[in-house]
Amino acid sequence: MRKLTINLNAIVHNLDVMRARASQVMVCGVVKANAYGHGAVQVAKTLERAGVDYLGVADISEGLTLREAGISLPILAWLHDPAETFVSALTEQIELGIANTEQLQRILGAAAITGRVPKLHLKIDTGLGRNGSSAAEWPELLAAVKSAGAAVEVVGIFSHLSSTSREDDLAQLAKFDTAVAAVGLTRSYQTALFPLKCSSIWSRGKFFSTNAPSRYCLLIAIVQILDLNLCLQISNQEAAT
């Protein structure tokens, strides 16, 4: 029988290392897929105590599990079932990544039911091809969100980097800049972004107004960096007879 040992202190250490490499940025700890097998609730509570700004999950059901466990941090979910109504997400104040106007319309319907103003993060596909609005669809999405007015609050724009090479990431960042510029913002990336080899980028600010401030953040998932400690160990044990 195999035994998994999760070192939560090592997770905090790794978070501190990444913060040191990319100072003055917000951190969203991604705990999707049961925190990559490490235990979503346990890791999320550890990250909450360690002071991360956000938690990221793949879908709304994962976010609801964290809410049921008493976690109060902002939670972002970005992969949605075509039949998702979004009512439970708004009720539990889960922020939503969206990629198209069809999702927006369903979210507006949920807002009318719940009386809550949804907080949205617009996702632009910059080349990975894993969810997100295409460059061609981006103006339509921005126009629809702007038309919704006070019924929604846009709090972020994000994309998913391939992390295959620095050159590929720079090419994706250039596309991300173009998408962010469409709402009147400019970038101010930390130079430590690339040593982290982070999987995603995230821009927050007051959108749809010129000269608005923005903060670029890291969605920390699986990274490759020196000085990180092993969080999970697998050991073989003989099953009891």
pLDDT at 64: 98
User: Is 78 within the bounds of a domain?
Assistant: yes
Dihedral angle sign, alpha carbons of residues 223, 224, 227, 230: positive
User: Is 13 within the bounds of a domain?
Assistant: no
User: Is 177 within the bounds of a domain?
Assistant: yes
What range does the domain containing 54 cover? 25-219
pLDDT at 176: 86
User: Is 7 within the bounds of a domain?
Assistant: no
CA pair distance 161, 127, nearest whole angstrom: 8
What lies within 8 Å, CB to CB, of 137 at 6+ separation is: 100
User: Is 36 within the bounds of a domain?
Assistant: yes
pLDDT at 160: 85
User: Is 96 within the bounds of a domain?
Assistant: yes
User: Is 231 within the bounds of a domain?
Assistant: no
Three-class SS of residue 84? coil
pLDDT at 221: 43
Instruction: Tell me 238's DSSP state.
Output: P
Per-residue b or e along 97-127, where b marks 16 or more CB atoms closer than 10 Å to that residue's CB: bbbbbebbebbeebbeeeeeebbbbbbbbbb
User: Is 200 within the bounds of a domain?
Assistant: yes
- In degrees and rounded to multiples of 5, residue 150 shows phi and psi of -75, -5
What lies within 8 Å, CB to CB, of 170 at 6+ separation is: none
Residue 214 CA to its chain's centroid (Å): 16
Q: How many domains does the chain have?
A: 1
pLDDT at 132: 94
CATH no. for residue 172?
3.20.20.10
pLDDT at 105: 98
Neighbours of 229 (CB within 10 A): 12
pLDDT at 217: 53
Q: Encode the chain (241 residues) as per-residue pLDDT tens digits.
A: 777 788 899 888 888 888 887 767 788 889 999 998 889 999 999 999 999 989 999 999 999 999 999 999 999 999 999 999 999 999 999 999 999 999 999 999 999 999 999 999 999 999 888 889 999 999 999 999 999 999 999 888 888 888 778 788 888 888 988 888 888 766 554 433 444 444 555 655 545 443 334 444 555 443 333 455 666 655 555 433 3
